[in-house]
């Protein structure tokens, strides 16, 4: 009986450790936006996508998003906490007219300041070109808005 109890305890401890280590596959993504005067009226949006679906401007398809409101936003900084490891693309844009969306021209190019995690000046970027592998406890991104 004692041997069986000891074996059961060892077994439970082993599976607890496995589950704990598997559950540690997440981290934080810290994003700093630059290249625009955020003291102007508007809202700064930080969007994180885990697939091409809705990229780069559909908030309903994001993994998470954060919005800074106000007339004087100061620095453009946001942190996405406890993000599971994987492939992501981050988009930051400044919504000048506060209509809660990224305004596009008739060709589909953004009319408002925008940047992605690849820091490409090309604004019609695809998810694959803007994405990055995330597999570390803290990832810091500096995104320039164009």
How confident is the model over 82-116, as pLDDT tens digits?
999 999 999 999 999 999 999 999 988 899 999 99
pLDDT tens-digit readout, 58-68: 999 998 888 87
Indicate the pTM of the whole model: 0.80
CA distance 66 to 59: 10
Which domains, from first to last, does the chain contain? 26-144 (2.60.40)
Considering only CA atoms, which of 140, 141, 145 is closest in space to residue 56? Answer: 145
Residue-wise burial string across 43-65, b where 16 or more C-beta atoms lie within 10 A, e elsewhere: bbbbbbbbeeeebbbeeebbbbb
Alpha carbon distance 86, 94 (integer Å): 26
Strand partners, 90: 48
């Amino acid at each position: 009986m004692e041997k069986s109890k000891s074996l059961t305890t060892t077994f439970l401890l082993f599976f607890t450790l496995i589950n704990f280590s598997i559950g540690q596959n997440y981290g934080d993504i810290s994003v700093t936006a630059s290249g625009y005067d955020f003291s102007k009226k508007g809202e700064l949006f930080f969007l994180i996508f885990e697939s091409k679906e809705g990229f780069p401007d559909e908030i309903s398809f994001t993994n998470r998003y954060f919005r800074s409101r106000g007339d004087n936003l100061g620095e453009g900084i946001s942190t996405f906490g406890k993000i599971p490891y994987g492939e992501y693309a981050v988009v930051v844009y400044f919504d000048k007219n506060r209509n809660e969306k990224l305004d596009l021209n008739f060709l589909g190019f953004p009319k408002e300041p925008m940047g992605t995690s690849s820091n490409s000046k090309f604004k019609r970027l695809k998810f694959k070109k803007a994405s990055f592998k995330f597999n570390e406890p803290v990832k810091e991104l500096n995104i320039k808005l164009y």
